[in-house]
Amino acid sequence: MGAERMMNYLMEKLKERDTGSAENMMNYVVEKLKELLLMLENFGAYVLDQVDAVFPPETREEKLRHWLEVNAPYLIAGVVLLMLFWCCGCCGCRGNRQVKMMTAPGRNFKMPRHAFESNPRSYFRNLHANKI
């Protein structure tokens, strides 16, 4: 959702701006990308400053060891829950979520039903375009 919102914002800004030519539009996009990279660089520096504030280099090892000792049970519980969730997802404990298959129209193989039902016109267009 965030990427879609960003694209819509950029498209609105491009429409508002009187570009005049493709070169001007490309220059505008390049400038905005430079601003984005600068913002990301500044954010990275901010995060590193915050880490240094919470864990000063002089006492970093000591504080991290204490933090790990205090939070170890929660970390272990989280890892176990993630492993159980992953395991149940692999063996099908979450219910029968098999993809319904069908014989592909005009071909001799099976295909997912949702792929055909989502856009049958496109399927047949591609089918006829690929025949010699």
pLDDT band at 132 (very low <50, low <70, confident <90, very high): very low
Distance CA 69, CA 59 (A): 16
Q: Over the stretch 40-92, which tens digit does the pLDDT of each residue have?
A: 888 888 888 888 888 888 888 888 888 889 999 999 999 999 998 888 776 65
Tell me the pLDDT band of 97, cut-offs 50, 70 and 90.
low
Are the C-beta atoms of 107 and 127 separated by less than 8 Å? yes
Is the pTM for the entire model greater than 0.95? no
Among all chains, which residue has been given the structure tokens 């071909």?
A: 107
The SS3 assignment for 103 reads strand
Residues 6+ apart with CB under 8 A from 89: none
Average pLDDT over residues 26-51: 86
- Lowest-pLDDT choice from 13-17, 69-73, 118-122: 13-17
More confident site: 59 or 10: 59
Task: Give the span between the Cα atoms of 108 and 103, in whole angstroms.
Answer: 7
pLDDT of residue 32 exceeding 80, the answer is: yes
* 16: pLDDT strictly greater than 80: no
